[in-house]
Amino acid sequence: MAKMWAGRTSGIIDSVADDFNSSIHFDYKMYKQDIKGSMAHALMLGAQNIITKKEAETLIDGLQSILDDLESGALKFNMKCEDIHMFVEEELTSRLGDVGKKLHTARSRNDQVALDIRMYLRDETNEIIELTKDVISAITEKAEEHRSTILPGYTHLQRAQPITFGHHLMAYAMMLMRDIDRFEDCLKRMNISPIGCCALAGTTYNTDRVFEAKQLGFSGISMNSLDGVSDRDFSVELMSDIAILMMHLSRFSEEIILWSSWEFKFIELSDAYTTGSSIMPQKKNPDMAELVRGKTGRVYGDLMGLLTTLKGLPLAYNKDMQEDKESVFDAVETVKMCLKVFAPMVATMNVCTDNMKKAAQEGFINATDLADYLVKKGLPFRSAYKISGQIVSKCINDGKVLETLSLCEYKSFSPLFDEDLYKEIDLKTCVEKRISEGGTGLASVEKQIKAVKEFLNQ
Ligand code: ARG
C-alpha cells in the first residue's frame, strides 16, 4: 500500500526497507502523548481560525475516540504503519474522512515527534522521582532504627573508624536526594514545547505556539525552530542523570552483596529478594543487588549510544534521530525496575548487629581515638599518631587488641596514659564523640534523618 506521504514518489517501499524504516514497534508507547498533542493542535488551529471551530471539535472528538478505543483494547496498533504519528493520523482519517486530513496543517512529524518524546519523558521523569523517594524513605527508616548500631567504617576496604549503620545508610539517602534534584533540574529544560517549529523553519500560518504549549502543560516554547526539532539534549541529560542514579544504586548494591557474604554477614536479605542455586543447596544469592549492579553498565551504554548518534548530525532533523527512543526508553524502564526492587529489598533486610559490632571490635578502629586521647593530654598530633601506631604494632605481635592491653603496658609508651583511656577507646564513646556537623555522632545522624524526612514530605 502507498504511504501517506506518496506524491513525489510512488510511496511504495520495499518491504525489508519498510521494516527497517518503521518505528511503530517502539514508539507506539507514546500514543497517549501523540493523541493529546494532536488534540491541543486541533484546538489551536480552530482558535486561530486556520480550520473552523466545528472541524476542530470533530478532530478532537475523533482523537478522543481513538484514545478510548486503544485504552479499552477495542483498537489495536497497526504494526504496518510507519510510526505512531502515522498510525493515529491514518486511523483518524479513516474514521472522519477528509476532516482528518486537516489535522497535520501547520505542523510536521519533526516537531510532533520532538513534542511527544518530551511529554513522554516528562511523565517518566516524574515517576522516577517518586520511585527514588520510595528508596530514600526505606533507607531512612532503616537508618532511624539503626542510628546507634555500631559497625566498622572503611577506607580502602580496610577497617578505619567506628561509625553507626544509620550514618552509613544516610550517606546513600544524601546521594539519592541529589539525584532527585538533578531530575527536577532536567525537567526544567525538558518542559519546553517544540510544537509549531514544523519541519524546520516555522510556518506561514498564523499559529499560536504559546497557547498550544500551555494546553499541554509546558512552561515555555523553543525560541529557534531548527533547535526545537533537532536537539535531543534533554534525553541525553535525562540518561546522564539516570546513569548517575544507577551508579549510586550500584555502589549500594556492591555493599549489600559484600555484607550478605559469610565473610561479612552484616545483613541477611529477605528470602523474597534472593535466589537459590540449582546445584549448591546452601546458597542464598543476592541476585537483585547483582542485577542492579549489572544493569548499570547497560544504562551507561544507552547514554553513550545516543551521544554517539547525535555527535555528527547536521541541522536539522535526520532519520538517525529515530534511534533516540529505544535507548532512552531502555534506560527509563531499567532504572524504574531497579528502584522498584530496591526499596522493598532495603526495607526487608535483616541487620546482624552483633556481627557488625564484633567486626568493629577487631580492627583497631579506635586507634585514631587513642591518638586523640594523647593530643588532649598535650602531645602534638604527629607524635601521638606515632605512639599509637607503635602500640597497634605491639598488640598485633602479642595477639591483643587496644582494649586488652594493660595500663602498665600503655605507660611504657607514654606516661600520659591513665585509667580513663579505656573509656576513651570504647567504641560507643568513639562514635558518640564524633559530634562535628555531618559526623557519625547521634545528633548529627538524627539531624540528617530529619532533613531527609522534610525533603520527602515537601
Ligand atoms: N518516526 C520518526 C522518528 O522517530 C518520526 C519523524 C519522522 N520525520 C521524518 N521527516 N521522516 O524520528
Lowest mean pLDDT among 57-71, 271-285, 382-396, 413-427: 271-285
What residues flank ligand 1, with Cβ below 6 Å?
23, 27, 83, 109-110, 113, 317, 319, 321-322
* Residue 283 reports pLDDT greater than 80: no
> Where does the pLDDT of residue 282 fall: very low under 50, low under 70, confident under 90, or very high at 90 and above?
confident
Atom of ligand 1 minimally distant from the CA of 84: 1
CA distance 114 to 131: 26
- Average pLDDT of the segment spanning 248-269: 97
Q: What is the CA(86)–ligand 1 centre distance, in A? A: 10
Q: What are the tens digits of pLDDT across the range 180-218?
A: 999 999 999 999 999 999 999 999 999 999 999 999 999
* Residue 219 reports pLDDT greater than 80: yes
Q: Which three cell numbers stand for residue 78?
A: 497497526
74 prior amide bond cis, ω within 30:
no
Q: What letter would DSSP give residue 272?
A: G
Atom of ligand 1 minimally distant from the CA of 83: 1
Strands 150-155 and 267-268: unpaired
Q: What is the CA(81)–ligand 1 centre distance, in A? A: 12
What is the chain's Cα-based Rg? 31
What average pLDDT does the structure give for the chain? 96
CA distance 48 to 30: 27
Q: What is the CA(158)–ligand 1 centre distance, in A? A: 54
Pocket residue to mutate for ligand 1, from 9, 30, 107, 319, most atoms within 8 A of Cβ: 319
Nearest to 414 by CA among 448, 386, 455, 447: 386
CA distance 320 to 111: 15
Q: For residue 155, give the 3-state DSSP assignment.
A: strand
Helix axis angle, 324-347 relative to 109-145, nearest 10°? 20
**How far, rounded to the nearest angstrom, does the alpha carbon of residue 50 sit from its chain's CA centroid?**
43
Which distant-in-sequence residues (6+ apart) come within 8 Å of 443 by Cβ?
Answer: 435
Question: 278 catalytic, yes or no?
Answer: no
- Average pLDDT of the segment spanning 402-408: 93
Question: 277 catalytic, yes or no?
Answer: yes
pLDDT at 277: 75
